[in-house]
Structure 1
Amino acid sequence: MDSMTLFIASLAVSCIGALASVLLIKADNAAKTAGCLIGAVAAVLSFIAGLEAVLGDVSSLNTVFFFPFARLELLLNGLAGLIVVLISILAFAGFIYGLSYFDEYPGKVGRAGFFMNTFVASMMLVITADNVFWFLVAFELMSLTSYFLVVIEENKNSIKGGWLYFVIAHVGFVLIMASFLLMTNGVGGSFSFSDFRTHDFGPAISSVCFVLAFFGFGAKAGIIPLHSWLPQAHPEAPSNVSALMSGGMIKIGILGILKVGLDLLAGSGVQLWWGLMVLVFGSISSVLGVVYALHEHDIKRLLAYHSVENIGIILLGVGASMTAHALGNDVIATIALMAALYHTLNHAMFKGELFLGAGSLLYATGTRNMEKMGGLFRRMPVTAVCFLIGALAISAIPPLNGFVSEWFTYQSLFNISTLSDPVVMVFAVASAAALAITGALAVTCFVKAYGVSFASSPRSQEAANAKESPAPMLFSQMLLAAICVVLGIGSPVIAPVLGDVAQSVLAGSAVTATSGVSLVNEISGAATSTPAIAIALVVLTGLAFALRSCLGAKAPAKKTDPWACGYEPNEHMPVVATSFASDVELFMGPLYTLREVCTKICWSIAHVFQKLTGVAQGVEPLPDRFLVDAPSEGADKLAGLASKIEGGNYSVYICYIVAALVVFLVLAVVMV
């Protein structure tokens, strides 16, 4: 069975899952089981289809529809296949996780199953749509279904976060639509992406189209300053949905930027300043994202801000690729795009795992506030180990997957800094510095998040009574944690595959990303080996335990309470989230002020939409009032008068006839 057939089958199964959830909406357990298991089957089918596309089985679908502009055109190539694969993995983990986690939403399980299945299907359609009409329809469906998942709890915070997300998503949608319609106008009205790829729009039109698309898709991806909806919306959604949104949906923003900049506008050529602009926004988003995360005590808001950070890191690779491509160096462009695609995949895995871990903490303690956690390693050991793997991966600690993609990103920035253009060198060096700052702060942030949540002593009764999550929730976390390890240690096998995907996007030269079990930079000759690092860590850890065992055999360690300056130790004395990040927060004070400004701007946009909605509600009935209501009222009055005249009395009818005859006789006399 070819990849497109499997892909269509997965969409059909997702629709069945959504329908089953609705039909069983009054029976929570049945709706949960049907919606989640059927959704998991759909995810397996789409995973196989996407993997086949990544490995080179490109397939397409082109069917006749009622209107020429609405032809159903789908394209499943290497780039689309990669995004399908990562969303399929997250969807599978999320649906299995939901078999237990959805118990926290009594009376709403059927709705959750319907919208989650529809959400996954709409994302799959956006990824593969090769036609403006279907792309925009699927994009809008994706935004609407995710909005309903965000507000599913129907409390004040979820409605507030959902409204901001709804507004920013539609601002982005308008910009994307404007970009596509400009391209449609340029090719004589065709809605087919295949016609865009071969057309030269000219530098002016292509630049306008790219800028519109960059900010439109950037709103969906969460780049600064269009990021404010992420920390408002992601924490309010169910945690498995948060994993899908953060790990999967925002990657569609990256896909859109790549699709427009390197695919649909390929006939016009990439402009150098496009790449430099992407580098600037990538640098700002990466640094500010992690700075804002450091300030958070809500673990899901912290993870949402790290999504902004990692989108920035991905954009550094995208910007480096576009810059090198504009300067005609296809080898560097391919390496940089490979780095961006690798980090796109990596971020989906470790961020999905971290959100599922945060959901387990919420499930066990009833709070997202890290200040009220502590001591959870002993009570939730599997969740603790999985969360630790995710934290190490997102902090780019070798040999895990985050290290690999960030290593290639560094190499890409170093490579473009060696090109002859001095302006490019300045941007590349500044971007590399931003990435270094981001990495240091990310380590600090996750030392805080992990240490405050899992180490020390419980700081609330709920944390003290916490128990490990149910098996389905643990399975999903272990699955994603294992993939993080495989993507890191197995990078010598995976990097060449992603290099081929990058080459297919750029239609450029093949690159050498590995040599044996080492990752290599073909340009500079730099190399590293994650398998070797993994072996070294295992050996050193074993030696450390052996040495400790030998030295401590005669004098076993004694456990005592820490000295607290003469006071009795209590839960407030250990380092907590507030004190841990206080020095960084003091230093970064102006940046937090900037965040408040950006947030106010986004809310101002939301308030404008709210006022426009109010105006529309006042204007909408006016045509009915004058064009429909007035004639209708007149007809009613005439009918009332007629009913009074027509009373059913024959004597009165005879009088009417006599009166009419008199009138006609008078008229006849007058006319004569």
Structure 2
Amino acid sequence: MIPMSTQATTISLPALVVLIPLIGAFISYIIGRVWREKYGHYTAAFIATITFITTALMYPYIGGGGEIEYTLTSLTTMYPITFYVDSFAFIFALATSFIWMVATIYSITYVKKEHATNRYFLFLILTLAVNMGVIVGGDLFVIYIFFELLALFSLMLVIHEQTRESYEAGKVYFYVGAFCGLMLLIGIILLYMNTGSMSIDSRFGEIEELGNLKYLIAGLMILGFGGKAGIFPVHIWLPKAHPVAPTPASALLSAIMVKAGIYGIFRTTGTIFTPSDLAAAWSLPEIGYWVIWIAIITSFIGWIFALFQDNIKTLLAYSTISQIGLLMIGVGAAAYLGYEGGAMGYAGSLYHVANHALYKSALFFIAGIIYFRTGTLKMSEMGQLYKKMPITFILCIIALLGIAGMPLFNGYVSKTIIHHALYDAYALNGDQALYIAEILFKIIGGGTVAYSLKLIISTFLTGNKNKETKEIKKAPKLMAVSVGAIATLIILIGLFPTTLLQNLITPVLETHALNPESVAYVSEINVFITEDLTAVITSFAIGIALYTGAYILKLETRSWPNWFTVNNIYNTILKSITATSKIINTTGATFNRYVSTNIFEPILKSITAQKQEQKNYDIDSGRGVSFAIFLIVLMLAIYMIYSILMF
């Protein structure tokens, strides 16, 4: 990455993409409260649209590898808020603002069957503001603050329905967010203590001197960001939060908010831990190796659990876990290959950021349409919906072909490039474990095909044939148009795969320490060769076989055993810890009573008898406590005055 320098353009656009939705959220809320709710909804959609347009206006400044930086100093004198956008951040910002705009427009119709709609739009737009803040934050401190606010504001979307299930999901979401936020904070603090900087610029030279400590810092930051991304083992909030949140919020949680975590992992492995010198050779084989295997496990768990779901949104939640795993395989392969071959991994992962945002948001919007018209999300309760909802049926096919990796649809391109990167990682040293990982990659592709088949067949083709469908209407126009816009992009990207590569992704690769020849090869890559098409055929054959076998054995109508879930394993561990703590506490209490009764009490009685007539000042009295509090407050006040004067 090019270091931040005086050559960067200084304009306020990065700050505006945060401030516009931050202020606009309250404006839309006030309008909805004092005027009419629907006008507040329209205002929210307008704010989201303006945010997307403002984001798009940054392209001329960063399109050729440029940078934008801006600092807000009028709001604070203690710590200036810095913003920074390069071609890498722009991809995330553009995808985020576009899908958020579509989701907000989609919500105008969807919320007609919801309650507390003003509150919903308030937190929907506030969450947009802080999500953009994570992406355009200029240093790790600013990114961390926005990252924590993202967890807080999005929590209000998870518990919006105010049901017992939503509160339970919100509790899990909060606990995971708090734990991962703490891990991230510790990682950032350790990085700052050993490098003296909060910058998101390269710290490669200082980090190389840290020895094994650098692996701890990398692990803490990856785990911290990974909680939002939904990687194993901190993925457990996704299948709980998605089914209970309003569908547009579920779409954003799955398609966009997880990318805030991915963005942080990218910055960690692809910027902070890599050299700023574009010609410097580097690699992170240990970190890359473990990221690859964590990603493989994450993706494998995702597709298996997805195949056993009856609720569409839960299936899509597990699907997100699997897709994020695929994306992380590219990140790991890039770190493993380093300077010589990392371009392939980064290109595939960045491409998958955009692709996953498109087809996953489309699938959630389709689930919302189905729920809006049928009142259920359970596939077992649905009839042959293709008869009553033909347009929705076609849109669902397009989105599923995208996620399954069918040639001429967007998902095929990014998955093929990631597959190339994984194979290159194996070929580099001939590591047999990575060869197994490459085989598992194909099986994961088959698993994606299997749960895609289940969704389309159970929802639209077979399902409950006795279900009355006479009263089911077609999709509302505004909702159908929203999904149609995304479906169009899914097809266009698949038909013209190099357009996105050359205009958005290649500029990112050119600002990283990557072999220029490798970057040039990736920008012109032909993904329609025999080997790649054969790999797709293999994955589709595996997927059809998996679904057929599950259908014959009636496994796809069963639920995954509750005793064999990560949640249950975590609960067992927590219960064991609690039981152990009780034993320790009981033993400790018994020991304390023995020591107190037989040792300390006789000594204290002796001392008390000797000083019975002395009038000593008692620090434990009311006066003593008050005096101690006074001293603490005085010291804090002196410190704050000193800090303000120093800044």
- Per the shorter chain, which TM-score range? 0.7 to 0.9
Q: Is the 8 A contact 2:550 2:556 kept in 1?
A: no
Aligned residues: 560
Which residue number corresponds to residue 394 of structure 2?
Answer: 385
In structure 2, what is the Cα distance between the partners aligned to 1:626 and 1:29? 60
In structure 2, what is the Cα distance between the partners aligned to 1:306 and 1:339? 18
Shift of 1:514: 6.4
Which residue number corresponds to residue 43 of structure 1?
Answer: 52
* CA distance 1:271–1:515, change in 2 (3 Å): closer
| 1:440 aligns with one of 434, 446, 454 | 446
Which residue number corresponds to residue 322 of structure 1?
Answer: 335
Q: Is the 8 A contact 2:61 2:68 kept in 1?
A: no
Structure 1 SS opposite 2:516: coil
**Structure 2 spans left out of the alignment, 5+ residues:** 1-8, 277-281, 538-546, 583-619, 627-647
Shift of 1:97: 0.2
Higher mean Cα deviation, 377-386 or 75-84? 377-386
**Structure 1 spans left out of the alignment, 5+ residues:** 534-575, 612-624, 632-672
Shift of 1:223: 1.1
In structure 2, what is the Cα distance between the partners aligned to 1:606 and 1:463? 51
Which residue number corresponds to residue 77 of structure 1?
Answer: 86
Q: Is the 8 A contact 1:228 1:602 kept in 2?
A: no
Q: Is the 8 A contact 2:32 2:38 kept in 1?
A: no
Which residue number corresponds to residue 436 of structure 2?
Answer: 430
Q: Is the 8 A contact 1:14 1:39 kept in 2?
A: yes
Structure 1 SS opposite 2:527: strand
* CA distance 1:367–1:494, change in 2 (3 Å): same
Which residue number corresponds to residue 154 of structure 1?
Answer: 162
Which residue number corresponds to residue 108 of structure 2?
Answer: 99
| 1:395 aligns with one of 404, 427, 433 | 404
Which residue number corresponds to residue 472 of structure 1?
Answer: 478
In structure 1, what is the Cα distance between the partners aligned to 2:578 and 2:469? 39
Shift of 1:266: 2.4
| 2:12 aligns with one of 5, 10, 21 | 5
Q: Is the 8 A contact 1:520 1:528 kept in 2?
A: yes
Which residue number corresponds to residue 326 of structure 2?
Answer: 313
In structure 2, what is the Cα distance between the partners aligned to 1:204 and 1:416? 23
2:589 pairs with 1:580: no
Which residue number corresponds to residue 341 of structure 1?
Answer: 350
Shift of 1:210: 0.2
Shift of 1:205: 2.3
2:138 pairs with 1:125: no
Which residue number corresponds to residue 511 of structure 2?
Answer: 504
Q: Is the 8 A contact 2:341 2:424 kept in 1?
A: yes
Deviations 1:267-295 (A, max 9, x none): 59653110110011111111110000000
Q: Is the 8 A contact 2:416 2:532 kept in 1?
A: no
In structure 2, what is the Cα distance between the partners aligned to 1:413 and 1:347? 19
TM-score scaled by structure 1? 0.76
In structure 2, what is the Cα distance between the partners aligned to 1:629 and 1:368? 63
Which residue number corresponds to residue 175 of structure 2?
Answer: 167
Q: Is the 8 A contact 2:393 2:460 kept in 1?
A: yes
Deviations 1:195-219 (A, max 9, x none): 8466335232221110101111111
Quote the RMSD (CA, aligned, Å): 3.5
Report percent identity of matched pairs: 24
In structure 2, what is the Cα distance between the partners aligned to 1:6 and 1:466? 45
* CA distance 1:263–1:144, change in 2 (3 Å): same
| 1:299 aligns with one of 312, 317, 320 | 312
In structure 1, what is the Cα distance between the partners aligned to 2:274 and 2:130? 26
Which residue number corresponds to residue 564 of structure 2?
Answer: 593
Shift of 1:475: 1.3
Higher mean Cα deviation, 26-35 or 78-87? 26-35
Instruction: Report the AA paired with residue 600 of structure 1.
Output: N
Which residue number corresponds to residue 22 of structure 1?
Answer: 29
Deviations 1:305-328 (A, max 9, x none): 000000110111111111101xxx
Q: Is the 8 A contact 1:350 1:393 kept in 2?
A: yes
Instruction: Report the AA paired with residue 8 of structure 1.
Output: A
Structure 2 SS opposite 1:351: helix
Q: Is the 8 A contact 2:383 2:463 kept in 1?
A: yes
Structure 2 SS opposite 1:505: coil
Which residue number corresponds to residue 367 of structure 1?
Answer: 376
In structure 2, what is the Cα distance between the partners aligned to 1:581 and 1:235? 28
Deviations 1:585-620 (A, max 9, x none): 699978971445445369879999xx9xxxxxxxxx
* CA distance 1:579–1:437, change in 2 (3 Å): closer
Shift of 1:519: 3.4
Which residue number corresponds to residue 414 of structure 1?
Answer: 423
Deviations 1:433-463 (A, max 9, x none): 1111111111111111111111137546564
Instruction: Report the AA paired with residue 18 of structure 1.
Output: A
Q: Is the 8 A contact 1:70 1:133 kept in 2?
A: no
Higher Rg: 1
In structure 2, what is the Cα distance between the partners aligned to 1:250 and 1:581? 35
Structure 1 SS opposite 2:66: coil
* CA distance 1:72–1:398, change in 2 (3 Å): same
Structure 1 SS opposite 2:512: helix
* CA distance 1:272–1:628, change in 2 (3 Å): farther
In structure 2, what is the Cα distance between the partners aligned to 1:124 and 1:9? 10
The residue correspondences of 1:518-529 to structure 2 (distance < 5 A) are 518-519=526-527
